[in-house]
Homo-oligomer: A and B are copies of this chain.
Amino acid sequence: MALPKSFQDLVNNLTILPGVGEKTAERYVYSLYERDTQEIENLSNSLIEFKKNIRNCTTCGCLSDSDICEICSDNTRDKTTICIVEDSKSVFSIEKTKKYNGYYHVLNGLISPIEGINPEDLNISTLISRITDAVKEIIIALNPSIEGEVTSLYIQKILEKYNVKVSRLSYGIPMGSDIEYLDPIMISKAWDDRKVIS
């Protein structure tokens, strides 16, 4: 006998989740069977609500429930800085540090000739329009990968003609790591970015 149809359908639909195969989906479905109807309805509704409401902020490109995201519509933030990130995940991660109070600009990708992602595919053109006289510093916070470096250089080049300071997050040895086990690139990056402490 095959699995009951509504069971099998749910299994199939759950396998669109990343890393979820047939076995994991089955495990999820058995567990969902034990759940209240209310909980299942909540999950079902929140999927629809999510797809209906979530969009990219027209200003910064971050995921948002409205056309202008919460950060971009917050006038109390520091108007002198814009932090450039790869995706919305980075925004939420940086926000968790409570270290930064400026605005963001989400590229929604990185330049990658191999994957055929060119600068035009990224949310870069709107960045230029955001560089007003009020902006004093652009902080580049992209992943330290080849694609991140290439994108970072490209943005640096574009920003050359604007009277704005451009910085990037420091590279270095990660907290809690052991120098003995770090790879040479990481050590040499930390060497170049070393700080005078006295």
Q: Which residues of A contact B (CB under 8 A)?
A: 1-7, 9-10, 12-14, 16-18, 26-33, 35, 37, 39-54, 63-65, 69-71, 74, 88-89, 91-92, 95
Among A13, A33, A64, A88, max chain B CB count under 10 A is at A13
Among A10, A16, A43, max chain B CB count under 10 A is at A43
Contacts of A63 in B (CB 8 A): 4, 7, 33
Given A1-B70, A43-B16, A64-B4, A9 and B49 touching (CB < 8 A)?
yes
Given A10-B50, A48-B41, A89 and B4 touching (CB < 8 A)?
no
Those 7 A-B pairs whose CB atoms lie nearest each other, nearest first: A13-B43, A6-B53, A4-B65, A44-B47, A40-B51, A10-B50, A10-B46
Q: What is the count of identical protomers in the complex? A: 2
Contact between A70 and B28 (Cβ–Cβ < 8 Å)? no
Contacts of A9 in B (CB 8 A): 46, 49-50
A32 to B51, CA, bound (A): 8
Main secondary structure of the interface of A (DSSP, over half): helix
Contact between A50 and B29 (Cβ–Cβ < 8 Å)? yes
Can you list 13 A-B pairs with a CB-CB distance of less than 8 A? A1-B71, A4-B69, A4-B70, A6-B65, A9-B49, A10-B49, A16-B35, A17-B28, A17-B32, A30-B89, A32-B50, A40-B51, A44-B48
Contacts of A71 in B (CB 8 A): 1
Contact between A13 and B48 (Cβ–Cβ < 8 Å)? no
Contact between A16 and B44 (Cβ–Cβ < 8 Å)? no
Contact between B54 and A47 (Cβ–Cβ < 8 Å)? no
Contact between A40 and B31 (Cβ–Cβ < 8 Å)? no
Contact between A32 and B6 (Cβ–Cβ < 8 Å)? no
Q: Closest CB-CB distance, A90 to chain B, in whole Å?
A: 12
